[in-house]
Amino acid sequence: MRNAIQSLIRSVMEKTIIRTIMFSYLIVNILLLLLLGLLSVRDSTKNLTKEITQHSYKMMEQAARGLSFNLEEATRPLVLMAGHYSVTAMMNPGREMDVEGRIQHERNIAEVAFGVSSLQSLVSDILILGKNGYVNNLDNRKSLRWDYRFTEQSWFKQAISGTPDKGFITLGLHMQDYYSETNISKYNKPTLSIALTVKDYNRKPIGAVIANLDLDKVNGMFELTSYLRDESVFMIDAEQTIIVHKDAAAIGTKLDFSGIQQIYADDSGSFVTKIEGEETLVIFHPTAVKGWRMISTIPMSVISRQADPLKSNLIGFIYFCLLLNLLISILITIRISRPFRRLLSTLDKIGGDSIYVITNSYKYRELDLIGNKFKELVIRIGTLVQQNYRSEIALKEVELKTLQSQINPHFLFNTLQLLQTEIVCGNTKDSNQLILSLSSLLRYSMKQSEEMVELEQEVQNVRDYLYILNKKYDDQIDIAFRIPDPSLLKHRTIKLILQPLVENVIVHGFGEKPHSAKMTISVVAVKKGIMVAISDNGKGITKSQCRQLTRQLNLQNAKPEGIGLFNVNQRIRLKFGPDYGLKIRSKHGEYTTVYVVWPIV
């Protein structure tokens, strides 16, 4: 146990594979756990916000229906009174009436008023006002001020000249300063009113019947919709003025915050904005009255507090997982370090006469393979030293493999970004083709065991490659394949020799913004074998540049800037000899053609 602990400490302190495995395992798992925690908290808050929004919206919809129903109920007595002959008679300015007739009409109005007051729950009072100065209400003027000039008030003028909406005229918010001071519940308190115009036999307005709504009862309807204790439900008019609120001091104030115009732009919905410096969820819903909106505001901090239990449980779970990961990483490190130490001990013994040391089992197949291969490598060293030309060939093969691996992935990230753009834009067909082309490219380049392939496969790889690149430039490049004899495609060629050449055309011939670009790829038979010509109408190169590039291609140990052309040329010459390879023809500002020649295989 002591040796295991010391080995573990040594593995952690020194830069070893064991330490890399352990720390990589820990870091990856910690990052995944933190990411899981952040996503869980975000999603829980998002889902909770959605749930609260849906619930509040449904409750507000019910409250809006209740308000609409009560307004319709309040309209019925207004219709009854506005059409009553006694009301019309008392407001008629040109009609003479004796005392007995006036008393009879007053009694008739009182009977109607008594029936209204016993049935209405949302209406606090009904005013019967004539242009001729006639004034009455449900309690026969007992609570009204006799000296109040009703006909001069703006809301009265609106009542006799306004345009009905839903069968009545909305007068908005105004103060009830026409009640006597002894009427504490109504005196100088705000109210909402709806009205009907009273007209004479000539259809001319002679007065109005106005119903004052009880704001406390209206607010009580809204309070029932509250989902959370800190939720505020209130109503505003078309001027953004609060007309119903549980806080009486807020009634009559103007509501103003970022995004408030959205409330009037849409019928209903929700959004998050800052109100008095605090992030707040705002939910809105229309009412039966045009311009009136029901509003619900809930601080986002209140919603976040609802997710606190989940956060606490999640933090505890993450701590537990971190501890468990630490223990698992220690156990894995101990189990892996033991066979590694045994392998290193065996390798230390190999040398001189100990070349044929028998390899022990290291528990893991990979380590057994490493030990055996190392012994074989040591045995072969003597032979390889005597055969220098073989090592030279091996070195060149390694260089070629390295250069070949550099060709494949350099445009992968651009392709993924292009694919993301097509998916976001909804281009299903193009995105599917991009995926197929990319997968075909990757599958083709990953088959490291195949050095020689059919020319048809190489041409198809170029088609896929050009399709992806052309999509990047919005299909601005006109690409043509000319293969008069399709049987040539059945012959074999070196893998991945055409892709660097067409890439060179795109990058150096056309640049980042190709315009009227054309590329032609031709496959023909020649005396030496098969020739592929890649032509473009790009910017081309000068004669001096063409000569310099040709000299670089013919040098054995050159490292030119155009490593793609050099690599292809070297691979062909190493495989088939110096008589084959690349030739370049170009005219500055007009064209460039690259000829690739190799024997028929």
pLDDT, average across residues 184-192? 86
Q: What's the pLDDT score for residue 533?
A: 95
Q: What's the pLDDT score for residue 17?
A: 67
Contact 592, 585 (CB under 8 A): yes
Nearest-10 crossing angle of helices 308-349, 365-386:
40
Contact 18, 193 (CB under 8 A): no
CA-to-CA distance for 455 and 452, rounded, in angstroms?
A: 9
Contact 566, 536 (CB under 8 A): no
More confident residue, 375 or 405: 375
For residue 25, CA distances in Å to 6, 35, 172, 322, 536 come to: 21, 15, 68, 11, 50
More confident residue, 393 or 126: 126
Q: What's the pLDDT score for residue 68?
A: 82
Contact 497, 480 (CB under 8 A): no
Q: Is 61 exposed, middle or buried (0-12, 13-18, 19+ CB in 10 A)?
A: middle
Q: Does residue 484 surpass a pLDDT of 90? A: yes
Q: Does residue 93 surpass a pLDDT of 50? A: yes
Q: What's the pLDDT score for residue 406?
A: 46
Mean pLDDT of the chain: 80
Closest listed residue to residue 296, CA positions, set 239, 237, 222: 222
CA-to-CA distance for 297 and 426, rounded, in angstroms?
A: 36
Mind listing the domains of the chain with CATH numbers?
52-302 (3.30.450.20), 409-598 (3.30.565.10)
Among the ranges given (164-168, 420-424, 481-485, 548-552), the one the predictor scored with the smallest mean pLDDT: 164-168
Q: What's the pLDDT score for residue 393?
A: 46
pLDDT, average across residues 440-448? 77
Q: What's the pLDDT score for residue 522?
A: 95
Q: What is the pLDDT of residues 512-567, one digit of tens each?
A: 778 888 999 999 999 999 999 999 998 888 888 888 888 888 776 555 555 678 88
Q: What's the pLDDT score for residue 506?
A: 85
Among the ranges given (190-199, 282-291, 321-330, 396-405), the one the predictor scored with the smallest mean pLDDT: 396-405
DSSP 231-293: -EEEEE-TTSBEEE-SSGGGTTPBP--TTTHHHHHSSSEEEEEEETTEEEEEEEEE-SSTT-E
Closest listed residue to residue 301, CA positions, set 266, 277, 325, 284: 277
Q: Does residue 387 surpass a pLDDT of 60? A: no
Contact 272, 283 (CB under 8 A): no
How many percent of the chain have pLDDT more than 70?
A: 82
CA-to-CA distance for 145 and 175, rounded, in angstroms?
A: 14
pTM surpassing 0.85?
no
CA-to-CA distance for 594 and 400, rounded, in angstroms?
A: 21
Closest listed residue to residue 51, CA positions, set 317, 369, 270: 270
Give CA 508 to chain center in angstroms: 37
Q: What's the pLDDT score for residue 398?
A: 43
Closest listed residue to residue 91, CA positions, set 146, 133, 127: 133
CA-to-CA distance for 210 and 123, rounded, in angstroms?
A: 10
CA-to-CA distance for 138 and 127, rounded, in angstroms?
A: 7
Contacts with 346 (C-beta within 8 Å, 6 or more apart), sequence order: 357, 359, 360, 371
Q: What's the pLDDT score for residue 557?
A: 59
CA-to-CA distance for 593 and 533, rounded, in angstroms?
A: 7
How many percent of the chain have pLDDT more than 90?
A: 12
Edge-to-edge, what's the strand order for the sheet holding 190-199? 135-136, 123-130, 205-213, 190-199, 169-175
Top-ranked range on mean pLDDT: pick from 250-259, 448-457, 492-501: 492-501
Q: What's the pLDDT score for residue 395?
A: 46
pLDDT, average across residues 223-252? 78
Q: What is the pLDDT of residues 102-141, one digit of tens each?
A: 888 888 888 887 777 655 667 888 899 999 889 998 888 8
Q: What is the DSSP letter of 560?
A: -
Q: What's the pLDDT score for residue 389?
A: 43
More confident residue, 339 or 463: 463
Q: Does residue 473 surpass a pLDDT of 90? A: no
CA-to-CA distance for 403 and 499, rounded, in angstroms?
A: 13
φ/ψ of residue 124, rounded to 5? -85, -30
Q: What's the pLDDT score for residue 224?
A: 61
CA-to-CA distance for 134 and 428, rounded, in angstroms?
A: 74
Q: Does residue 595 surpass a pLDDT of 90? A: yes
Among the ranges given (232-246, 406-420, 437-451, 502-516), the one the predictor scored with the smallest mean pLDDT: 406-420
Reduced 3-state DSSP string for 539-555 = CCCCHHHHHHHHHHHHC
Nearest-10 crossing angle of helices 563-576, 388-407:
140
Among the ranges given (223-232, 429-438, 550-559, 563-572), the one the predictor scored with the smallest mean pLDDT: 223-232
Q: What is the pLDDT of residues 9-41, one digit of tens each?
A: 555 556 666 667 777 777 887 788 778 777 877
Number of C-beta neighbours around residue 49 at 10 A: 19
More confident residue, 81 or 45: 81
